Structure 1
Amino acid sequence: MRVERLELQDFRSYQKAVLDFDQEVTVFSGENAKGKTNLLEAIFLCCTARSHRTPRDRELIHFGSEGAQIVTSISRLNGKSQIKLQLSEKGRKKAWVGGAELPRIGELLGVLNGVMFSPEDLRLVKDGPDVRRRFLDISLSQISPLYFNALSNYQRALRQRNILLRQLVEKKNAGQGDLDLWDLQLSRYGAQVAFRRAEWVGRLCQAAQRIYYDISGGREHLTLLYQTKLDLNGTVEALQDELYTRIQKARSEDLRRVTTTVGPHRDELELKIGETAVRAFGSQGQQRTSALSLKLAELRLMEEETGEAPILLLDDVMSELDDERQRLLLKHTSGVQTFIACTNYRQLPHMEQREMAVFEVGMHEGVSGCTLI
């Protein structure tokens, strides 16, 4: 799949921009805080309907404007199409695909698949479990509408159950019998989430192991483990029954802590090199290589799942990698449409064999602009 054109109206630092892409690699080059990352963010929004930088849509709208618009023209094996996103300060974002408005914004997932790799993702290994859960959820949601639906329903049930727990503790108009309804919802959708995540981690592990082995020169062995208190060896139905029982048993503790303590929102993705936990004891080099391996494994599995390579967005990450890791990153992304944000395209190594277009990004009077070099 490819992005052929990007059109922006009042998005972030851009009042208006139209960019055409006809090369395998597109580089946005310029000083920091001039608008390079905004371009990658706009493209990634068309992949996931969410920003990788902020949950607040109002931050995506150009100062002084009431709304913003992003349009991407894309091509896939099944033909060409167009994605349009509208953001508003007063309402929810809306999306159109091929001119037809989507009834739910979540239906945008899977239309254009993308993998984002930013400096923040280099912390994927050493930050808290929520970062790694989000990594799994974004990948799976792009390739599986059923997973996205289960995750959305699980998160909704979790929010409602936690509200009810707080009401019970504050002795508001609520009864413990109401918890049973949300316990059933949590166990139903939580079982689907945990089961699919564990399956995905197993596949990620195989792909990431091969990539890490290559990057480390065959010296080290990476393992990924989905850590949960649930028994994942049976069926989804058995998992649902087990989760329901555990949630019921934890009710007293949940009321004491005023939060739901059992479920896949507590699970973890653990990375090990040999018997060593990378998060706690891995060197900086091992942590960065593990994060890079995870992202490249995600890229290749999404291609395997959909039959098309997703687009790759590299947000100023090349400067964070040493020369050898940069070389291997580009080696593993050959044939993938890649967008790179960097401060100086002339300092990008190993680009001689790639078709490349460069846009110089600058800012004048608070408004960003791009010039094709």
Structure 2
Amino acid sequence: IIPGYTDNNGVRKPVLVFGAGYDTNKDDSGVGTADSQGRGLFIVDAETGALVWSVTPAINSATNLSEPGLLHSVPGEVTVLDSNGDELTDRIYFGDTGGNLWRVDLPGNALPTSSQDSWRIVKLAAFNGGNTATDRRIFNGPDVVRIRQDGKAVDAIIIGTGDRTNPNATDVDNRVYLIRDRATAPYATVRPTSGECATPGVVDFRCSLPLTDSDLYDISDNIIITGTDDEKAVALEALRTADGWRFDLTGAGEKSLARTLTINGRAFIPTFTPSNLLSDINTCEPQSGTGQMYIMDIYSGDRSVIPLGPIIPDTPSLHFSEDGTIRILLPPGAPASDIDQPGEINCEGGVCNVGESLRPPYGNYWFQEDYQ
């Protein structure tokens, strides 16, 4: 459900939100170039398929917001968010095959007019460095988690990179990222100009966008957990003041090919590492690789790894038992034996108990006393 889209009786109508798809231009060898197809986000009527609104590089119209910077195809899932609990989607996050992370804002209670001056889009981050090693591509939907930073609400956007169309590639240094999006309400104004951003007193998170790898703290070495007391203190302060963190996937060709799932402050991050094709070149068997699942503390970067065997793992599934216990169902291949994990998480037989349960239902009561 989005703002302002109703039938003739004012009843809200459901919509579908999705990316424009994949461009086979990205199948070409070498560093990826701009696409001609798949560059967009679409919102359509769930019943009729009629276009309600879109973001593409095309010109502004009654149903399209022009974004000339949207140069790469959008094959992955998009993530929709209701910021204020009014049952209306007012934010959308998605990634593209150019390694960019985007945010779309749908403020207000009406659809945009042909001037397209109410709903807007901003590039939240750019993770592609433009060479072979940094040709990072996003095929997954972002995971969005509400956290607190320095006593304030922040939305953590977690996304991994990896080329799903070429899982055996080994020439790109892929990463997993957490971006702290400090604007937890929809943007209701246009983005400040560079001159306005330079004016003292102007505080708008968009002035620092798009974020890049250099804006994020590198948690790969796990200094916050394994360092000396002095090293831990320095690392914690660096992480606190950064706009998020980045984590290197260090296996040869390791990549994120499925969406991350976060619960109770732990991110379950599935990755895939292809087999060594050179060492296996004389075998007569199909080449595969190894899946693994990182379980990572999103606040400190502390983590462990669960091996999953020769599969490309999908996003883990949530399971809620009759007593309200929350569990994570791991993809096939997880070890049957008990595996120690950070915090209160315990994994055994492909199931992880996360140490949390659904809150029991509660009732609201109202009464009025009448006086004679």
TM over 0.5: no
Higher strand share: 2
Higher helix share: 1
Q: TM-score, normalised by structure 2?
A: 0.24
Tell me which of the two structures has the higher relative contact order, counting C-alpha pairs closer than 8 angstroms and 6 or more residues apart: 1
